[in-house]
Amino acid sequence: MKILVTIQKNEVAPRFDQSSEILITETEGEEIIGNPRIILLPGTSGEDICSLATKENISMVICGGIEETHYQYLKWKKIKVIDGVIGPYEKAIKFAIVNNLKPGAILPGASIVGEKS
Amino acid sequence: MARKKKRSSFQDSVLLLNQLDLISLFDSMTFGVLFIDPARRVIAINRFLEALTGYNREEVFGVHGENVIRSNLSSLDDPVGKALESDKTMILEGDIINQSRKKNPIRFTITPLKLMSGKMAGAMILLEDISLLKDLDNKIHGFSGHDKIIGHSGKMQEIFELLPIAARTDASVLITGETGTGKDLVAEAIHKESKRSRYPFIKVNCGALPESLLESELFGHVRGAFTGADKDKPGMFRLAHGGTLFLTEIGDLSLTLQVKILTVLDDKEFFPVGGSKKVSVDVRIIAATHRDLGELVRQGKFREDLYYRLNVLRLHLPPLREREDDFRLLLDHFFLEFRKNLNKKIKGFSDACLKILSSYGYPGNIRELRNIVEYAVNVCPNEVIQPEHLPKTLLLKPHTSSQTNSYGEMESGENEPKTMENSESLNTFSASGPVGWGEVERNMILKSLTKTAGNRTKAAELLGWSRSKLWRKIKHHGLE
């Protein structure tokens, strides 16, 4: 499975269409294969990320807030979207590959007040 | 003596101000308020911001503020950072995306908060929803703005006449109509035109959740109310306070919850799940369903008293097959919308394509038409959309028994600026199923002629057509 995550520093970027950094990783079963690729985009555009996701044959997108049009487009392209995720992207991927990441998840490490999930 | 009394009253007010619970104060405001610490972590949000973002204050306490409001401020040269470094209040416009994936235009007012000692304590961000102002701006500049409801058929004109009446009152509204007829759009339009428009419009799909979850979703719960309830949840009734709660698929609501909703409508207060303290709310209810509630009442599946309570104002949205005059308008609208969005250079539909589209029954109504157009515009690699660019399911489904088009204006070739000259045979696509518009139109003509005892002038009046149009249609359907 190929996963695309919109990132900002070490976290899932708050907004899909405002992300300028993309992480792409491949998984097999519950393992990450090889090193994840980080792509810096020349600007911020939801359309460009959608287009990149289709070109790269992505199976799953993990992101923060996403507009309905982008969400529906990705769904139409048969890409699973887990949106509204808050927290470190590494944890998001870990949860996703064991099928334990839900839309709107506030991951451990997202808040400085205790750990939330 | 009088001076002493005045001073005492002033001191009382000062004491009172010091004891005020600021968050409760901000809860009554009609704009979102977010307090962040110098590291931009959420300290508090008010109730309006809970509704605006879809988060409740407990779950986002300590989370980075930007993850909660999801604004485009970062692309505007980091005004929050600038405000935290200076003493200046900054006002700017941008947008946010909420949990329902809706983008709202917002005016942000960012005020740095400093302690008496001069130490930076964080910032207060006010978020004012300026969707209405944007709509007004669009109206002034000649755009249709929020007016997403399209139609000039007689039946839609009736709806347009009822909308302002529904918006002016505070009575409950029941919107009925088949799936895909635009019930959500009508509900939102009523809210936007009403005096509650500055407050939240919250939609709850009563058919999407099991009963116990829906109860908690609507009325909220207190911590410990059931396994997994590890924090208080305000519920949609509280979040919609001052605004409108749109209950869609109300016909799917269980009898138990129907009683609870009836109580809220009557008393304007309720107990959250597991709670012992009543919560008062001021919420207008707009309900919608594709089911026949009258029939459900007869079957004992829907409470009669709730039905009458909701059915104060009734709007019935006609299915697409009964909006003959709007078909071409909607088709062109969606075509232009997708052509622009997808940046395609398609000129239009071929005659063969239009014939298939106009003879199809559209059980999914406008939503289905929109999806078909989106598919066709996406799939078509050339300048003209051909039948092979339409979804395969459309080609397999039964069409009208008549192989000709039921739309006079299309048959004549008038008003077809975007069609190709050569047309193809439709034989392969027509079937004998009596579900299309041609059949509906034929029945409409027969019904009106029966009603008027064969008087064509009166029948034409009933249908809202001219005599010549009726004559043409009678000939077309072989009803002479």
> Which CATH number does the domain housing residue A68 bear?
3.30.420.130
The pLDDT of residue B6 is 57
pLDDT above 80: residue B479: no
Q: Say whether B97 and A66 touch across the interface (CB within 8 A).
A: yes
ipTM of the complex: 0.89
The pLDDT of residue B135 is 63
Could you count the other beta carbons within 10 Å of the beta carbon of residue B262?
16
What's the CATH number for B148-317? 3.40.50.300
Q: Say whether A111 and B75 touch across the interface (CB within 8 A).
A: no
pLDDT tens per residue, range B139-165: 544 333 345 778 777 788 888 888 888
Q: Answer yes or no: is A63 within a domain.
A: yes
**What tokens appear for B10 in the block?**
């002033």
Topology of domain B320-421+428-435, per CATH?
Helicase, Ruva Protein; domain 3 (1.10.8)
Q: Say whether B101 and A15 touch across the interface (CB within 8 A).
A: no
Q: Say whether A65 and B101 touch across the interface (CB within 8 A).
A: yes
Residue A71 in contact with partner chain B when CB distance is under 8 A: yes
**What tokens appear for B156 in the block?**
């839609």
pLDDT above 70: residue B10: no
Domain boundaries, chain B: 18-130, 148-317, 320-421+428-435, 440-476
Residue identified by tokens 């991927």 is A93
pLDDT above 50: residue B418: no
Q: Answer yes or no: is A47 within a domain.
A: yes
Strand partners, B273: B221
Class for domain B18-130, per CATH?
Answer: alpha beta
CA angle at B30 for the pair A13 and B111, rounded to the nearest 5°: 60
**What tokens appear for B80 in the block?**
């929050």
Residue B64: list chain A partners with CB under 8 A: 11, 14, 86, 110
Cβ neighbours for B100, distance < 8 A, ≥ 6 positions apart: A68, B54, B203
The pLDDT of residue B164 is 82
pTM of the model: 0.53
The mean pLDDT value for B346-370 works out to 89
pLDDT tens per residue, range B421-469: 333 332 222 333 334 556 667 777 888 888 888 888 888 887 777 787 7
pLDDT above 70: residue B201: yes
Contact (CB, 8 A) for A19 and A42: no
Q: Answer yes or no: is A103 within a domain.
A: no
Q: Answer yes or no: is A110 within a domain.
A: no
pLDDT above 60: residue B224: yes
Confidence category of residue B13, pLDDT binned at 50, 70, 90: low
Q: Answer yes or no: is A46 within a domain.
A: yes
Q: In chain B, how long is the greatest CA-to-CA distance?
A: 100
Q: Report how far residue B52's alpha carbon sits from residue B242's, in angstroms, rounded to the nearest whole number.
A: 13
Residue B59: list chain A partners with CB under 8 A: 106, 116
Q: Answer yes or no: is A43 within a domain.
A: yes
Residue identified by tokens 């005892």 is B453
A-B contacts (CB, under 8 Å)? 60
Provide the domain limits for residue A74.
2-23+32-80
pLDDT above 60: residue B406: no
Measured between CB atoms, which of A17, A83, A86 is closest to B63? Answer: A86
Assess whether the region B18-130 and the region B148-317 belong to the same CATH fold: no
Residue A98 in contact with partner chain B when CB distance is under 8 A: no
Angle, in degrees to the nearest 10, between helices B456-463 and B437-451: 130
Residue A20 in contact with partner chain B when CB distance is under 8 A: no
The mean pLDDT value for A56-80 works out to 92
Average pLDDT value for chain A: 89
Residue identified by tokens 């790269």 is A56
Rg of chain B over CA atoms, in angstroms? 28
CATH 1.10.600 for the B440-476 domain, yes or no:
no
Distance from CA of A116 to the nearest CA of B (A): 8
- Per the model's pLDDT, the better-predicted residue between B402 and B292 turns out to be B292
- Per the model's pLDDT, the better-predicted residue between B76 and A49 turns out to be A49
Per the structure, how many domains does chain A have?
1
pLDDT tens per residue, range B364-373: 899 999 999 9
Q: Answer yes or no: is A45 within a domain.
A: yes
Q: Answer yes or no: is A75 within a domain.
A: yes
- Neighbour-count burial for B453-463, b at 16+ CB within 10 Å, e otherwise: eeeeeebbebb
Confidence category of residue A79, pLDDT binned at 50, 70, 90: very high
The mean pLDDT value for B87-106 works out to 85
